[in-house]
Amino acid sequence: MLKRSSEQNRKTAETKIKVKMDIDGTGEYDINTGNGMFDHLLAQLSKHGLIDLYVRSEGDTEIGWHHLVEDTGIVIGKALKDCVGDGTGINRIAHAYAPLDESLARTVVDFSGRGYAVLDLMLGDIDMGDLPSDLVRHFLESFAREAGCNLNIQVLSGLNNHHKAEASFKSMAKAIKYALTIDERQTGKIPSTKGTISD
């Protein structure tokens, strides 16, 4: 079986990001972005998506978390796209629900090669540590664009912002896991009528 893994690096005047990813992993993670809440959300992607994930992010956080969160989304998205490759044999489209106490989130994902995000997260800034809630949206948009997937996440109910954000990442992780699972009936086939999901 082809090993679906990637290592990506990005260095700019604003940030320095390193990501290692294996989408056929066991959910092991080693994540340090300097932001505890951001690390916690990324850990959900790894643990519940069975994605082995290593992340190191450094940047100009003295002016805020925007550059670091955005660039981490870019690099994680690029790593995922590299892992998927031409998508031979994958299910491609999947959905998943995840609850956390009073919160419930639904994710629908399509690895079509076209990056797009539609997000209804209902997030405020209370109980989000030092991570501004709008940067959760910004991370997901950057991630989806670079991963080449259509990402639709909707929080269906919830009161606590931490719970709503975590449920969103858990449902996303599960949907990605199912979408990237190999279907033996599609061995050697690209799951698209146009014959490619790479362009």
pTM confidence score: 0.96
Report the amino acid identity of residue 124: G
Phi and psi at residue 112, to the nearest 5°: -90, -15
Left if phi > 0, otherwise alpha if psi is -120 to 50, otherwise beta: which for 64?
Answer: left
Q: Identify the pLDDT of residue 199.
A: 65
Q: Identify the pLDDT of residue 189.
A: 79
Q: Identify the pLDDT of residue 191.
A: 77
Please name the residue that has the structure tokens 């629900």. Answer: 97
3-state secondary structure of 166: helix
Tokens of 139: 């991370």
Domains and CATH numbers, the chain: 5-186 (3.30.230.40)
Residue-level length of the chain: 199
The Cα–Cα gap between 154 and 65 comes to 24
Q: Identify the pLDDT of residue 185.
A: 87
Tokens of 152: 């639709």
**Full strand arrangement of the beta sheet holding 150-157:** 93-100, 103-110, 150-157, 116-120
Q: For the chain, what is the largest distance between any 2 Cα atoms, rounded to a whole number of angstroms?
A: 51
What distance lies between CA 76 and its chain's CA centroid? 7
> Which residues share a beta bridge with 93?
110
> Which residues share a beta bridge with 154?
106, 120
Tokens of 45: 């992607």
Per-residue confidence in pLDDT tens, the chain, 199 aa: 578 999 999 999 999 999 999 999 999 999 999 999 999 999 999 999 999 999 999 999 999 999 999 999 999 999 999 999 988 889 999 999 999 999 999 999 999 999 999 999 999 999 999 999 999 999 999 999 999 999 999 999 999 999 999 999 999 999 999 999 998 888 887 777 787 777 6
